Structures are given as structure tokens and as C-alpha cells.
Chains A and B, each alone.
Chain A
Amino acid sequence: MIELDVRLPLAGFVLEVRARFESSAVAVLGPSGAGKTSLLEAIAGLRKAAGRIAIAGETVLDSERSVNLPPERRRVGYVPQDSLLFPHLTAAENVRFALQDGGRGAGIFDEAVSILEIGTLLDRYPATLSGGERQRVSLARALATRPRLLLLDEPLAAVDVELKGRILPYLLRVRDEMRIPMLYVTHNAGEAVLLAREALLLREGRVEAAGPTAELLSTRTLAAIDPLARFDNILEGLLEVPSAGETARLRLAGGAALRVPPSGGSGERAVYSLAPEDVLLAAHPLDRVSARNVLEGRVEGVDFGSGDALVRVLAGGIAWRAHVTAEAARELDLSPGRSVWLAIKTQAFRPIR
């Protein structure tokens, strides 16, 4: 559980965040310069803030009772956007740097190295690592402190497009296997939905909205305040690969199976992303189409923009986001409660592992 009541004067405005989160992962969204990074730094104790911060029941900051734990006693693992590895240390030395004295940390070192698959990078210096590799080492380093809370500042932003999705599965493993709560800054609503049950939307230092991720990000608020916001559908499930020549199936937690391009063997966990532009909506059942995925669903809501609309559809236990023109949305009479059919080509799913 994280309790925040933070006041922090920044260059153009005062960051004021009052929020309380129960879930283990919280997404922090908002346009660049909204104070997201400053908020993380305040929680880590790297910026002087006023107010109160409590992590898992322990107060780390309470300016009224003059409690202000130094960063080294907050047990918060901070992974900055640019990794900030120590350039004079190898990857292994960077991770070991975080181990607590006395050698008790050896187990966590091995665990972090294996979860993030950085075993082959250990002898290399940061200057020779790619952006994605650096982020993984930085994440392993943060984990090695056995933090009570992970602060992740756009862990995918500094990574090039091809590698972008590759960090995500690691984050899922950290969340599910190591059970470490996280605060996750991102511009991608899809990532937020996949990783976090709750979300915080910041704008110019103020809380624009806070609450369950799926509800929060289905409105156009995010698109309106953050031009960089992405609304990708992100799907996670188990792969089923039938005989050769057939498409692979992704079995979702809800039971539905999607036909996707193969990205691994049968029984493996996989994550795919799907752009909202690639979801076709139909008012009537579709018959004999080339798209391999046709699902019946119900419209949850429609957010009209200028000339376009973001439609939320519940189908197969998944909240889908489809991006269509405003004209199409009107012609199909898309409104909450309406039955629709989704058609998605197999090739539109991009594996991110």
C-alpha cells in the first residue's frame, strides 16, 4: 500500500499529489513535464518534498512530525529513464553495488540476474550495452536492494522500437514472481492496463484523475492532455502451437483464444500488442472474412475526438480499444450497450517477447 500526500515546488508549478493505492502496481501517466519524474524522486528521497509518504505501512516522510528518512533507508528501488548505470563499473559490479553488506544478498543477485536474463552481459561496461540491456541491468540493480517498492520511470522510453516490448515480460515476471509493488511511469495506456490495476493521471503537478486503470484510461482525458499517449491493446496469455502450417493461438486468462503469429513454443507465456487502428468493427456478424479473429462484443463507451473516436468494447473477457473515424462510429450507431463484432487480422498482433 502506498500513501502519498506530497507538495514539491518545481520550476513552473507546485507538484501536489494526494493519493492512496492498494494494489501492487500503479501506473503514473501524464504529459511530459507533468511532474511524474519529480514525484518518483520525492518518493525515493532524492528531492526535498513536504507532506507525508508511507510505503507498506512505514512512514518515510512526515514533515509535520519531522520524519524524513534518507534515501538509503527508504528501501525503494529507483530505475530512472536513462538507466543511470555507474559507468566505471561492469554490469555485475553495478548489480553487486546494491547488495547489502555481509554477503546475505548473494541469493537475490542470482535471482535478479536470472529473471532479467543478464547473465551474458555481466562482464561488460555500460558503454558497450544497448539501451534495452542497460535498462535490464538497472532493473536488476534496483531489485538487488530487496526494495519494498520499485519506481520505474518510463523503462521503455529510452529503448528503440524493436526492443521496446522486450522489457515488458521482465516487468511482469518481477511483479508476479518476486511480488514487488511498483510505480510505473509510462505514456502507453496499454502497458498501464497490462501492468497496473490502478493509475494516477498527472497534469502540471496536479492529480487529474486516479482510480482503476481500465476505467481511467478508457476516457479521452489521457489523449487530451498527453499528445504522446498510446492506446495499444496489450494481450497476455499462453501459446498453443498446433501442427506446422497453422497459426498459433494465444489462450487468454478469460478462456478466449486468439490467432496470432507464432512467437514461441506451446505452453509458453507470451505478450502481444495490437494497435487500436487495427481493430475492425462490424454492426452485423461477419461471414467468411480473411481476418482470423472474429469476436462478438458489447460497446462499453465511445469517446469522440476531432474526426475520430476511440471505442471501448468488451469481448471475450477483454476490454478492447478500437480507433475508428467519427463518421464510422456514427454510421454504425456505436453507443454503450450495442452489440458489435470485432475482426482482427492475425498479422496485426505484434509479439513483444
Chain B
Amino acid sequence: MILPFGVAAAWALSRGRGAGNQVAETLLALPLVLPPTAVGLLLLELLRKSGPAGRLLDLAGIDVLFTWKAVAIATAVMSFPLLVRPARAAFETVDPRLLGIARSLGKSRLKAFWSVALPLSWRGILAGALLAFSRALGEFGATILVAGNIPGRTQTLALAIFHRTQIGQDEAAFRLVGIVAAIAFVTVWVTELLQRRREKREAGAP
């Protein structure tokens, strides 16, 4: 879900220069450094009905806190920098002259980005997406603060495992661990596979 936004932010950061760019970069990196519970508390403050974002959402009739939407927001905020950083590094390795050539071959700025910068950076974006996904899967601190731990509604896998062990259902917890492990395994496997196939093709193997 965060992919388009993350890629856009990474692109903007890789092109931009100057102080504004550095501030934006630092802000984006904060969720990496702060304890997740601190981020959760800030989000809670922001999203509660009397908070700045919460008031707007309330006007629109959207209830966020302690719903699945809060889970989505918390995991998105926490995993965002993990997507942006590798994607940005990948964009920076794309020769800007290639984009110039694409333009002079009749492509608009957007098309040049879409057909040159994006495919040449797919490796970094993929790596970032994978990191972000794993972070989202394991996110605990921020989620539990803004979404609570309501079974069947806002209980993520990570929260559920914690919950089960707390109430002594170790066997159920292990089953969940198995599910998480399977998801993780398949994700990493598929990314590796995509990467390997693409590399082989570009190196010129028939």
C-alpha cells in the first residue's frame, strides 16, 4: 500500500538538493530511530478526536483509532523509511543522462521516469519493499498503542503471538509463528527468484 508513496518520496529525495531535502530526509528516518511506542503515542495524539488530524477525520465521519485503519497507519508510518531508503539509493545510481536521452527521444518527464528510472531501480525498490513488509508484519509497539489488541479486528499476527503466550496458549502461539514463518519464507523466496531471473536476462544469457 505504501509502495507508490514510498517510491515517489524516494524519487523526490534522490533528485532534490539543499536544506529542505535534508530536513525531509531526517523526518522520514525518525520512525527508524524512535522507540515504536513513542511513534505510537505521537500518532495517538494526532489521530484522537480532538487531535489535528483526528478532527478532520471526524468531520468526514471516519473513525480511525482502534480499528484496522489505525493498524494500517501505524505499520505504514513505521515501515515507510525502510522502503524509502533503499529505493532512494537505487534511484541515485541511475545515470541522469539516461533520463535526458529518454526525454530527447520524445518521452515526457513522467514517461522517462516510468520507463527508465523505475525499471533500472527495481532491485532497490524490491529490497525496500521486502524490508518494509517484514517490518509491517512484525510491528508491535506503535500498533498496540493506536489500534489496541482487539481479537478479530485489530489483532495483528505479532500482537496475537504475544497475546497467546501471555495467556499460556503456547501451542496456538507456535501455530501463528508457523504462519508468519511461511509468509516470510515465500516472500523472500519470490523476491530472490525475481531478482535472479532478471539479472540473468540482462547479462545476456539466452
Please give, as numbers and ranges, the residues of chain B lying within 8 Å of A124 by CB-CB distance. 204
B119 and A88 contacting across the interface, CB-CB below 8 Å: yes
CB neighbours of B102 from chain A (8 A): 86, 97
Question: Is B196 in the interface zone, CB < 8 Å from A?
Answer: no
Residue of B100, B105, B108, B116 near A145 (CB, 8 A) is: B105
State whether A71 and B120 are in contact (beta carbons under 8 Å apart), knowing that A84-B98, A125-B201 are contacts in the complex.
no
Q: Mark A203-247, 1 if CB is under 8 A from B, else 0.
A: 000000000000000000000000000000000000000000000
Q: Does A184 contact B (CB under 8 A)?
A: no
Chain A residues with Cβ below 8 Å from B104 are 44-46, 71-72, 74, 76-78
Q: Which residues of B from 171 to 206 have beta carbons under 8 Å from A?
A: 201-204
Complex CA distance for A133 and B167, rounded to whole angstroms: 69
* B116→A86 contact, CB < 8 A: yes
Dominant secondary structure of chain B at its interface with chain A: helix
A74 to B119 Cα, complex, angstroms: 25
Residues of A contacting B106 with CB < 8 Å?
72, 75, 98, 100, 145
Asked if B97 is at the interface (CB within 8 A of a chain A CB), the reply is yes
Is A127 part of the binding interface, using a Cβ–Cβ cutoff of 8 Å?
A: yes
The verdict on B164 contacting chain A, using a C-beta distance below 8 Å, is no
Contact (A127, B204) CB under 8 Å given A76-B104, A80-B97: yes
- In angstroms, Cα B201 to Cα A314, docked, is 55
Q: Identify which of A45, A84, A100, A141 gathers the most chain B CB atoms within 10 Å of its CB.
A: A84
Name which of B95, B101, B116, B203 has the most chain A CB atoms within 10 A of its CB.
B101
Shortest CB-to-CB span from B15 to chain A, Å, is 15
Nearest residue in B to A84 (C-beta to C-beta)?
B101
Question: Which of B95, B100, B107, B108 has the most A CB atoms < 10 Å from its CB?
Answer: B100
Contact B108 A127 (CB under 8 A): no
How distant is the Cα of A292 from the Cα of B105 in the complex, in angstroms? 49
Q: Mark B110-129, 1 if CB is under 8 A from A, else 0.
A: 00000110011000000000
Residues of chain A at interface, number, CB under 8 A = 28
**Alpha-carbon distance A141/B109, docked complex (angstroms):** 19
Count residues on chain B whose CB falls below 8 Å from chain A CBs: 21
A107 at the binding interface (Cβ < 8 Å):
no
Q: Which A residues are in CB contact (< 8 Å) with B48?
A: none
Closest to B101 in A: A84
Contact across chains for B100 and A71 when beta carbons are under 8 A apart: yes
On chain B, the residues within 8 Å of A336 by CB distance are: none
Q: Which residues from chain A contact B69 at a C-beta distance below 8 Å?
A: none
| B105–A46 CB distance below 8 A | no
A91 vs chain B, min Cβ distance (A): 11
Q: A70 in the interface, Cβ–Cβ < 8 Å? A: yes
Q: Report Cα–Cα, A124/B201, bound state, in Å.
A: 10
B202–A125 CB distance below 8 A: yes
Across the interface, do B115 and A46 meet the contact criterion of CB distance under 8 Å? Answer: no
- Distance in Å: Cβ of B155 to nearest Cβ of chain A: 42
Compute how far the CA of A171 lies from the CA of B34 in the bound complex, rounded to whole angstroms.
Answer: 61
- Cα–Cα, bound, A75→B106 (Å): 7
B55: interface (CB < 8 Å): no
B111 nearest CB neighbor, chain A only = A72
Asked if B103 is at the interface of the complex by the 8 Å CB criterion, the answer is yes
The verdict on A46 contacting B103 (CB below 8 Å), with A72-B108, A86-B116 known, is yes
| Residue A128 CB within 8 A of the other chain | yes
State the CA gap A128–B95 with chains docked (Å).
Answer: 19
Q: How far is the CA of A178 from the CA of B202 in the complex (A)?
A: 32
Q: Residue A87 at the B interface, CB < 8 A? A: yes
Q: Within 8 Å CB of A84, what residues of B?
A: 95, 97-98, 101
Q: Which of B101, B103, B104 gathers most chain A CB within 10 Å?
A: B104
- The 0/1 profile, CB within 8 Å of A marked 1, for residues 71-103 of chain B is 000000000000000000000000101101111
Given contact pairs A46-B100, A127-B203, A127-B204, A97 touches B105 in the complex (Cβ within 8 A): yes
Task: Return A145 CB to nearest CB of chain B, in Å.
Answer: 5
Chain A 86-98, CB-CB to B under 8 Å as 1, else 0, gives 1110000000011
List residues of chain A with CB within 8 A of the CB of B108. 72
Scan residues 43-100 of chain A and give those whose CB is less than 8 A from a CB of chain B. Answer: 44-46, 70-72, 74-78, 80, 84, 86-88, 97-98, 100
28 contacts across the A-B interface (CB closer than 8 A): A44-B100, A45-B103, A46-B97, A46-B104, A71-B103, A72-B104, A72-B105, A72-B108, A74-B104, A77-B104, A80-B97, A80-B101, A84-B95, A84-B97, A84-B101, A86-B101, A86-B120, A88-B119, A97-B102, A98-B105, A98-B106, A100-B106, A125-B203, A125-B204, A127-B204, A128-B203, A141-B105, A145-B106
Q: A45-B103, A84-B95, A97-B105 are in contact. List 20 more A-B contacts (CB 8 A).
A: A44-B104, A46-B100, A46-B104, A70-B103, A71-B104, A72-B103, A72-B105, A72-B106, A72-B107, A77-B104, A80-B97, A80-B101, A84-B97, A84-B101, A86-B116, A87-B202, A97-B115, A100-B106, A125-B203, A144-B105
Residues of B within 8 A of A (CB): 95, 97-98, 100-109, 115-116, 119-120, 201-204
Q: What 10 A-B pairs come out closest when comparing CB atoms? A: A128-B204, A71-B103, A46-B100, A71-B104, A98-B105, A44-B104, A88-B119, A78-B104, A72-B106, A125-B204
